[in-house]
Structure 1
Amino acid sequence: MQAHDIMTSRVYKVKESDTVRAVIEKFIDHRISGLPVVNDRNEIVAYVSDGDIMRYIGKHEDVVIDVLYFSTVLKGDAEEFEERARSLLQLNVMRIAHRKVLTVSWDEEIEQIAAILGKKHIKKLPVERNGVLVGIISRGDVVRHTFKRFL
């Protein structure tokens, strides 16, 4: 079985000129956690995930909290967190996306796809054909297609 046999052809994606707002809207609307970022020729140039969002809005430094100032620090942290979240929406997606993207070829075998997903601890792999995005494969796709004939 090859990538084209199990991939999802309808791929949600964003363009490299989009803001993070477009990414988060697609995450919410389609209940997904990652998107390929493509150029005008539909070539994959990056990948953005919910993990990239978490890294941006999360605390960027280690902070030691003094017990006497605990409530003041928490209030300041909440305001700071909200400001990071608001500012993130305006950023270009390429500011937070990973530019080194693992992909698989249209004709990659399912065993190799399973090995990549497992070894690299990633949830999805974009599928390319002649350098162009044609699909996406998730860990769930591999499990469903591998085991449905045994159940």
Structure 2
Amino acid sequence: MRVRDIMTSPVHTVRQNASVESAAELMTARSVTALPVVDADGALVGMVSEGDLLRHQVPADPATGAETVPALDPVDRQTMVVQVMSAYPLATTPRTDVAEVAEVMLQNDVRSLPVLDARTVVGIISRRDILRALVRSDGLLTREVQHRLDEYADGRRRWTATVEGGVATVAGDFDDETERTVVTVLTRTVAGVSAVKLAAPAAS
């Protein structure tokens, strides 16, 4: 399974010179916990999370080490994202294996990674995305693959799909190599499918 199969795309980003208040509003409105931070050219320069914003708004009391809750003044509201973000964030690509991404997240204690194509942010992948893909049963995957193939065949059952251990087997006849490629791609894009095998139809 590749990152492109389960990442969230398009992704919401925030400019580095945006206010922390606007970043918090965007996170709340979009129900996300982190945002890639980009510069004026759209290149990734950092990540800002709920934790970053909370640390900015709820600093520790230097005398006791306990957190205090300061009143927000106009200066606080104008603090820019670049001042609180995590710079030089870890990132991944659409073609990276999800298992590698999961290992990086665990080793570095991060909950999400921006997905880059060259320097452009094309998505974001989180621990929740990975877990959601892993818990999908073979039966559920079989039904989803079959539904996509039936839709492509205008409602006809031209191919029969089965999924075992995340590997999808599609049995049936193909008119040409183009059709074989289309069916393979349609099957492979189902989140949770790790590989595709094409097979001849069972003998009657």
Match of 1:97 in 2: 85
Match of 2:31 in 1: 31
- Partner Cα distance (2:98, 2:15) in 1: 28
Match of 2:122 in 1: 134
Query: Aligned pairs, how many?
Result: 136
Amino acid at match of 1:46: G
Match of 1:113 in 2: 101
Closer/same/farther in 2, CA of residues 118 and 13 from structure 1, 3 Å limit? same
- Partner Cα distance (1:90, 1:125) in 2: 27
Instruction: Report the secondary structure of 1:35's partner residue.
Output: strand
- Partner Cα distance (2:23, 2:57) in 1: 15
Tell me by how many angstroms 1:150 deviates.
4.5
Closer/same/farther in 2, CA of residues 31 and 41 from structure 1, 3 Å limit? same
Tell me the TM-score normalised to structure 2 length: 0.61
Instruction: Report the secondary structure of 2:124's partner residue.
Output: strand
Deviation digits for residues 120-146 of structure 1, max 9, x if unmatched? 221111000112100000111111112
Instruction: Report the secondary structure of 1:143's partner residue.
Output: helix
Tell me by how many angstroms 1:104 deviates.
0.4
- Partner Cα distance (2:41, 2:79) in 1: 22
Deviation digits for residues 45-82 of structure 1, max 9, x if unmatched? 11111111121122333324xxxxxxxxxxxx65xx11
Match of 1:82 in 2: 71
Instruction: Report the secondary structure of 1:135's partner residue.
Output: strand
Instruction: Report the secondary structure of 2:87's partner residue.
Output: coil
Task: Mark the runs of 5 or more structure 1 residues left unpaired by the alignment.
Answer: 65-76
Tell me by how many angstroms 1:18 deviates.
1.2
Closer/same/farther in 2, CA of residues 32 and 145 from structure 1, 3 Å limit? same
Instruction: Report the secondary structure of 2:36's partner residue.
Output: strand
Tell me the TM-score normalised to structure 1 length: 0.81
Report if the CA contact (8 A) 1:41-1:132 is conserved: no
- Whose Rg is larger? 2
- Partner Cα distance (1:138, 1:59) in 2: 27
Deviation digits for residues 17-38 of structure 1, max 9, x if unmatched? 2111210110121122110011
> Which gives a bigger RCO, structure 1 or 2 (Cα 8 Å, sep 6+)?
1
Please point out which of 110, 117, 122 is paired with 2:110: 122
Amino acid at match of 1:139: R
- Partner Cα distance (1:132, 1:50) in 2: 23
Amino acid at match of 1:149: S
- Partner Cα distance (2:11, 2:116) in 1: 12
User: What is the CA RMSD across the aligned residues, in angstroms?
Assistant: 1.9
